[in-house]
Protein backbone atom coordinates (compact mmCIF):
# COMPACT_ATOMS: atom_id res chain seq x y z
CA UNK A 1 0.00 0.00 0.00
CA UNK A 2 1.42 3.38 -1.01
CA UNK A 3 2.34 5.74 1.79
CA UNK A 4 0.14 8.79 2.12
CA UNK A 5 1.69 11.96 0.64
CA UNK A 6 3.28 14.20 3.22
CA UNK A 7 3.57 11.53 5.91
CA UNK A 8 7.24 12.26 6.47
CA UNK A 9 6.44 15.92 7.01
CA UNK A 10 3.56 14.95 9.29
CA UNK A 11 5.75 12.86 11.59
CA UNK A 12 8.37 15.63 11.71
CA UNK A 13 5.96 18.37 12.66
CA UNK A 14 6.30 20.46 15.81
CA UNK A 15 3.03 21.24 17.60
CA UNK A 16 2.78 24.61 19.37
CA UNK A 17 1.98 24.62 23.08
CA UNK A 18 -0.23 26.92 25.12
CA UNK A 19 1.50 29.32 27.48
CA UNK A 20 -0.20 30.22 30.76
CA UNK A 21 0.33 33.32 32.83
CA UNK A 22 2.28 32.96 36.07
CA UNK A 23 -0.02 35.39 37.87
CA UNK A 24 2.86 37.51 39.13
CA UNK A 25 2.54 41.27 39.68
CA UNK A 26 4.37 41.85 36.40
CA UNK A 27 2.08 39.51 34.43
CA UNK A 28 -1.17 40.36 32.65
CA UNK A 29 -3.15 38.50 35.34
CA UNK A 30 -2.01 39.99 38.66
CA UNK A 31 -4.17 39.81 41.77
CA UNK A 32 -6.11 43.00 42.48
CA UNK A 33 -4.44 45.35 44.93
CA UNK A 34 -7.22 47.86 45.54
CA UNK A 35 -7.99 48.28 49.28
CA UNK A 36 -11.50 48.23 50.67
CA UNK A 37 -13.28 51.48 49.92
CA UNK A 38 -13.94 53.75 52.88
CA UNK A 39 -17.14 55.04 51.30
CA UNK A 40 -19.78 52.32 50.72
CA UNK A 41 -21.20 54.07 47.67
CA UNK A 42 -17.76 54.34 46.09
CA UNK A 43 -17.05 50.69 46.81
CA UNK A 44 -20.29 49.57 45.19
CA UNK A 45 -19.63 51.69 42.12
CA UNK A 46 -16.03 50.56 41.75
CA UNK A 47 -16.91 46.88 42.12
CA UNK A 48 -18.91 46.85 38.91
CA UNK A 49 -17.06 49.58 37.04
CA UNK A 50 -16.57 49.08 33.31
CA UNK A 51 -13.47 50.60 31.79
CA UNK A 52 -12.51 51.74 28.34
CA UNK A 53 -14.32 51.06 25.11
CA UNK A 54 -16.51 48.26 23.83
CA UNK A 55 -17.59 46.70 20.56
CA UNK A 56 -21.06 45.16 20.64
CA UNK A 57 -21.91 42.98 17.65
CA UNK A 58 -25.60 42.76 16.86
CA UNK A 59 -25.79 45.82 19.06
CA UNK A 60 -28.72 47.36 17.20
CA UNK A 61 -31.04 44.54 18.30
CA UNK A 62 -33.17 44.65 21.44
CA UNK A 63 -30.83 42.63 23.66
CA UNK A 64 -27.78 44.42 22.31
CA UNK A 65 -29.23 47.89 22.90
CA UNK A 66 -30.14 47.04 26.49
CA UNK A 67 -26.60 45.77 27.09
CA UNK A 68 -25.09 48.90 25.55
CA UNK A 69 -27.15 51.10 27.84
CA UNK A 70 -26.19 49.10 30.93
CA UNK A 71 -22.46 49.15 30.14
CA UNK A 72 -22.57 52.91 29.62
CA UNK A 73 -24.34 53.30 32.96
CA UNK A 74 -21.44 51.48 34.62
CA UNK A 75 -18.75 53.71 33.17
CA UNK A 76 -18.08 52.58 29.60
CA UNK A 77 -16.37 55.51 27.88
CA UNK A 78 -16.75 54.54 24.25
CA UNK A 79 -19.14 52.30 22.33
CA UNK A 80 -19.05 50.92 18.81
CA UNK A 81 -22.07 49.02 17.56
CA UNK A 82 -21.47 46.48 14.80
CA UNK A 83 -24.66 45.51 13.00
CA UNK A 84 -25.70 44.40 9.53
CA UNK A 85 -28.24 47.23 9.54
CA UNK A 86 -27.62 49.73 12.35
CA UNK A 87 -30.04 52.20 10.75
CA UNK A 88 -32.91 50.01 11.98
CA UNK A 89 -32.17 51.40 15.44
CA UNK A 90 -31.06 54.88 14.42
CA UNK A 91 -33.55 56.54 16.78
CA UNK A 92 -32.58 54.36 19.77
CA UNK A 93 -28.88 55.03 19.17
CA UNK A 94 -29.54 58.78 18.98
CA UNK A 95 -31.42 58.61 22.29
CA UNK A 96 -28.47 56.76 23.81
CA UNK A 97 -26.08 59.45 22.59
CA UNK A 98 -28.27 62.10 24.21
CA UNK A 99 -28.47 60.12 27.47
CA UNK A 100 -24.68 59.71 27.66
CA UNK A 101 -23.28 62.95 26.19
CA UNK A 102 -19.79 62.36 27.59
CA UNK A 103 -19.40 58.96 25.91
CA UNK A 104 -18.25 58.36 22.36
CA UNK A 105 -21.01 56.33 20.70
CA UNK A 106 -20.72 55.16 17.09
CA UNK A 107 -22.09 52.44 14.84
CA UNK A 108 -20.82 50.66 11.75
CA UNK A 109 -22.48 48.43 9.21
CA UNK A 110 -20.54 45.19 9.51
CA UNK A 111 -20.99 41.67 8.15
CA UNK A 112 -19.38 39.55 10.87
CA UNK A 113 -18.73 36.71 8.41
CA UNK A 114 -16.46 38.91 6.28
CA UNK A 115 -12.97 38.71 7.79
CA UNK A 116 -11.50 41.74 6.02
CA UNK A 117 -14.57 43.82 6.84
CA UNK A 118 -14.38 42.92 10.53
CA UNK A 119 -10.64 43.61 10.70
CA UNK A 120 -11.14 47.02 9.11
CA UNK A 121 -14.05 47.81 11.45
CA UNK A 122 -12.01 46.90 14.54
CA UNK A 123 -9.13 49.07 13.33
CA UNK A 124 -11.55 51.96 12.73
CA UNK A 125 -12.99 51.47 16.21
CA UNK A 126 -9.53 51.70 17.77
CA UNK A 127 -8.87 54.86 15.75
CA UNK A 128 -12.14 56.55 16.74
CA UNK A 129 -12.31 55.47 20.38
CA UNK A 130 -8.62 55.05 21.18
CA UNK A 131 -8.73 51.40 22.19
CA UNK A 132 -10.78 48.19 22.16
CA UNK A 133 -11.17 46.81 25.66
CA UNK A 134 -14.41 44.82 25.50
CA UNK A 135 -16.22 42.70 22.93
CA UNK A 136 -19.73 41.35 23.40
CA UNK A 137 -21.08 39.19 20.58
CA UNK A 138 -24.87 39.27 20.30
CA UNK A 139 -25.12 38.78 16.56
CA UNK A 140 -26.96 35.62 15.56
CA UNK A 141 -29.71 34.11 13.44
CA UNK A 142 -32.08 31.21 14.00
CA UNK A 143 -34.01 28.99 11.61
CA UNK A 144 -36.65 26.49 12.68
CA UNK A 145 -37.09 23.72 10.15
CA UNK A 146 -37.42 19.94 10.22
CA UNK A 147 -33.92 18.57 9.88
CA UNK A 148 -34.88 16.16 7.10
CA UNK A 149 -36.01 19.15 5.07
CA UNK A 150 -33.20 21.57 5.96
CA UNK A 151 -31.14 22.82 3.00
CA UNK A 152 -27.44 22.42 3.65
CA UNK A 153 -27.09 26.08 2.67
CA UNK A 154 -29.21 27.06 5.68
CA UNK A 155 -27.08 24.92 8.01
CA UNK A 156 -23.93 26.61 6.71
CA UNK A 157 -25.40 30.11 6.97
CA UNK A 158 -26.45 29.69 10.62
CA UNK A 159 -23.06 28.32 11.68
CA UNK A 160 -21.22 30.88 9.56
CA UNK A 161 -22.94 33.79 11.30
CA UNK A 162 -23.37 32.46 14.83
CA UNK A 163 -20.12 30.55 15.30
CA UNK A 164 -17.60 31.58 12.66
CA UNK A 165 -18.73 35.21 12.83
CA UNK A 166 -18.16 35.25 16.58
CA UNK A 167 -14.70 33.72 16.10
CA UNK A 168 -13.76 36.29 13.45
CA UNK A 169 -14.80 39.16 15.71
CA UNK A 170 -13.08 37.68 18.76
CA UNK A 171 -9.83 37.11 16.86
CA UNK A 172 -9.81 40.65 15.46
CA UNK A 173 -10.64 42.22 18.82
CA UNK A 174 -8.08 40.08 20.67
CA UNK A 175 -5.33 41.03 18.22
CA UNK A 176 -6.07 44.68 18.96
CA UNK A 177 -6.12 44.00 22.72
CA UNK A 178 -2.76 42.21 22.55
CA UNK A 179 -1.34 45.08 20.52
CA UNK A 180 -2.50 47.53 23.20
CA UNK A 181 -1.05 45.39 26.00
CA UNK A 182 -3.84 46.25 28.42
CA UNK A 183 -5.93 43.08 28.39
CA UNK A 184 -9.67 42.98 27.85
CA UNK A 185 -12.91 41.05 28.07
CA UNK A 186 -14.77 38.99 25.46
CA UNK A 187 -18.29 37.69 26.05
CA UNK A 188 -20.19 35.43 23.67
CA UNK A 189 -23.97 35.32 23.86
CA UNK A 190 -24.72 31.61 23.60
CA UNK A 191 -28.11 30.15 24.57
CA UNK A 192 -29.81 27.46 26.60
CA UNK A 193 -29.98 25.88 23.15
CA UNK A 194 -26.29 25.13 23.69
CA UNK A 195 -27.17 22.97 26.70
CA UNK A 196 -30.21 20.99 25.64
CA UNK A 197 -32.58 20.29 22.74
CA UNK A 198 -35.28 22.95 22.76
CA UNK A 199 -38.96 22.00 22.58
CA UNK A 200 -41.14 22.04 20.57
CA UNK A 201 -39.41 23.73 17.63
CA UNK A 202 -36.74 21.88 15.60
CA UNK A 203 -33.65 24.08 15.20
CA UNK A 204 -30.62 21.84 14.95
CA UNK A 205 -28.33 24.33 13.20
CA UNK A 206 -28.93 27.01 15.82
CA UNK A 207 -28.43 24.58 18.70
CA UNK A 208 -25.17 23.29 17.26
CA UNK A 209 -23.91 26.81 16.50
CA UNK A 210 -24.50 27.91 20.09
CA UNK A 211 -23.01 24.79 21.66
CA UNK A 212 -19.90 25.41 19.54
CA UNK A 213 -19.63 28.85 21.14
CA UNK A 214 -19.24 27.23 24.56
CA UNK A 215 -16.18 25.31 23.43
CA UNK A 216 -14.84 28.31 21.54
CA UNK A 217 -15.17 30.33 24.74
CA UNK A 218 -13.28 27.71 26.74
CA UNK A 219 -10.45 27.40 24.21
CA UNK A 220 -9.92 31.13 23.96
CA UNK A 221 -10.08 31.49 27.75
CA UNK A 222 -7.20 29.04 28.06
CA UNK A 223 -5.12 30.48 25.23
CA UNK A 224 -5.58 34.19 25.78
CA UNK A 225 -5.50 34.52 29.57
CA UNK A 226 -1.77 35.25 29.47
CA UNK A 227 -2.59 38.41 27.53
CA UNK A 228 -5.00 39.51 30.23
CA UNK A 229 -8.00 38.68 28.05
CA UNK A 230 -10.91 36.99 29.80
CA UNK A 231 -13.35 35.05 27.62
CA UNK A 232 -16.76 34.02 28.91
CA UNK A 233 -20.29 33.41 27.69
CA UNK A 234 -23.85 33.91 28.81
CA UNK A 235 -26.67 31.51 27.88
CA UNK A 236 -30.05 33.25 27.87
CA UNK A 237 -33.32 31.39 27.89
CA UNK A 238 -36.29 32.49 25.82
CA UNK A 239 -36.29 36.29 25.88
CA UNK A 240 -39.38 38.38 25.22
CA UNK A 241 -38.17 40.28 22.14
CA UNK A 242 -39.59 40.94 18.69
CA UNK A 243 -37.96 37.73 17.47
CA UNK A 244 -40.32 35.77 19.71
CA UNK A 245 -43.50 37.70 18.99
CA UNK A 246 -46.45 37.08 16.68
CA UNK A 247 -49.62 35.00 16.55
CA UNK A 248 -47.82 32.32 14.55
CA UNK A 249 -45.77 31.25 17.57
CA UNK A 250 -48.40 31.83 20.27
CA UNK A 251 -48.56 28.11 21.06
CA UNK A 252 -44.78 27.94 21.29
CA UNK A 253 -44.67 30.91 23.68
CA UNK A 254 -47.24 29.18 25.88
CA UNK A 255 -45.19 25.96 25.95
CA UNK A 256 -41.96 27.85 26.70
CA UNK A 257 -43.63 29.57 29.65
CA UNK A 258 -45.29 26.39 30.96
CA UNK A 259 -41.98 24.49 30.89
CA UNK A 260 -40.21 27.20 32.91
CA UNK A 261 -40.32 27.20 36.74
CA UNK A 262 -40.67 30.98 36.60
CA UNK A 263 -43.70 30.65 34.35
CA UNK A 264 -42.62 33.22 31.78
CA UNK A 265 -40.06 34.35 29.27
CA UNK A 266 -37.22 36.66 30.21
CA UNK A 267 -37.12 40.44 29.86
CA UNK A 268 -34.15 41.97 27.97
CA UNK A 269 -33.27 43.96 31.11
CA UNK A 270 -32.78 40.70 33.02
CA UNK A 271 -29.76 39.81 30.90
CA UNK A 272 -27.86 43.04 31.39
CA UNK A 273 -26.64 42.32 34.92
CA UNK A 274 -24.73 39.26 33.76
CA UNK A 275 -23.20 41.17 30.85
CA UNK A 276 -22.06 43.91 33.23
CA UNK A 277 -20.66 41.36 35.69
CA UNK A 278 -18.57 39.58 33.06
CA UNK A 279 -17.32 42.86 31.61
CA UNK A 280 -16.66 44.78 34.81
CA UNK A 281 -13.92 44.74 37.45
CA UNK A 282 -16.14 42.39 39.49
CA UNK A 283 -15.45 39.70 36.90
CA UNK A 284 -11.65 39.92 37.03
CA UNK A 285 -11.29 36.26 38.09
CA UNK A 286 -14.10 34.91 35.90
CA UNK A 287 -12.61 33.28 32.82
CA UNK A 288 -13.93 30.40 30.73
CA UNK A 289 -17.33 30.46 32.43
CA UNK A 290 -20.84 30.23 31.03
CA UNK A 291 -23.69 31.78 33.01
CA UNK A 292 -27.21 30.55 32.31
CA UNK A 293 -29.94 33.18 32.59
CA UNK A 294 -33.21 31.37 31.92
CA UNK A 295 -35.53 31.55 34.93
CA UNK A 296 -34.65 27.97 35.85
CA UNK A 297 -35.76 26.26 32.64
CA UNK A 298 -32.52 24.33 32.34
CA UNK A 299 -33.10 22.44 35.59
CA UNK A 300 -36.04 20.53 34.11
Query: Which H/E stretch holds residue 116?
Result: helix 115-129
What does the DSSP 8-state code read for residue 199? S
Query: Which H/E stretch holds residue 55?
Result: strand 53-57
Average pLDDT on 41-59 reads 93
* Helix/strand/coil for 93: helix
Name the residue with higher pLDDT: 94 or 41: 94
Three-state secondary structure readout of 158-178: HHHHHHHHHHHHHHHHHHHHH
Query: Which H/E stretch holds residue 220?
Result: helix 204-224
3-state helix, strand, coil in the chain (%, to 5): 50, 15, 40
Question: Average model confidence (pLDDT) for the chain?
Answer: 93
Predicted confidence at residue 281, as pLDDT, reads 95
106 touches 80 (CB < 8 A): yes
Sign of the C-alpha dihedral computed for residues 211, 214, 216 and 219 taken in this order: negative
Predicted confidence at residue 248, as pLDDT, reads 67
Residue 163, pLDDT > 90, answer yes
Round to whole Å and give the CA distance between 294 and 285.
23
What's the pLDDT tens digit per position in 89-122? Answer: 999 999 999 999 999 999 999 999 999 999 999 9
What's the pLDDT tens digit per position in 246-272? Answer: 666 788 888 888 888 898 999 999 999
Average pLDDT on 129-144 reads 95
Of the candidates 47, 15, 98, the residue with the CA atom closest to the CA atom of residue 282: 47
Query: Which H/E stretch holds residue 104?
Result: strand 104-109
Of the candidates 233, 215, 237, 297, the residue with the CA atom closest to the CA atom of residue 261: 297
Of the ranges 133-137, 200-204, 239-243, which is most confident? 133-137
Residue 69, pLDDT > 60, answer yes
Lowest pLDDT segment from 37-46, 143-152, 219-228? 37-46
pLDDT band at 10 (very low <50, low <70, confident <90, very high): confident
Residue 63, pLDDT > 70, answer yes
Residue 50, pLDDT > 60, answer yes
Predicted confidence at residue 247, as pLDDT, reads 66
Domain ranges of the chain: 46-295
CATH 3.40.50.720 fits 46-295, yes or no: yes
pLDDT band at 242 (very low <50, low <70, confident <90, very high): low
Round to whole Å and give the CA distance between 147 and 86.
32
pLDDT band at 243 (very low <50, low <70, confident <90, very high): low
Lowest pLDDT segment from 41-50, 69-78, 289-298? 41-50
Q: Which residues contact 49 (CB under 8 A, 6 or more apart)?
A: 74, 75, 280, 281
231 touches 173 (CB < 8 A): no
Predicted confidence at residue 108, as pLDDT, reads 97
Round to whole Å and give the CA distance between 133 and 113.
21
Q: Is cis: bond before 47, omega within 30 of 0?
A: no
Amino acid sequence: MAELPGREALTARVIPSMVFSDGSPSSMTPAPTAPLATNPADGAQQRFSVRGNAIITGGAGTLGLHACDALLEHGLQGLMIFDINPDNSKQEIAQMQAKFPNAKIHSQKVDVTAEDEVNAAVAETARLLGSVDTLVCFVGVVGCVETLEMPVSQWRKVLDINTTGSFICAQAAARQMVKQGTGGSITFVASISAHRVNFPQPQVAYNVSKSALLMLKSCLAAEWARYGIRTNSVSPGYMDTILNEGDGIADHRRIWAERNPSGRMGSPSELTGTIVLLTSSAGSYINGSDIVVDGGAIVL
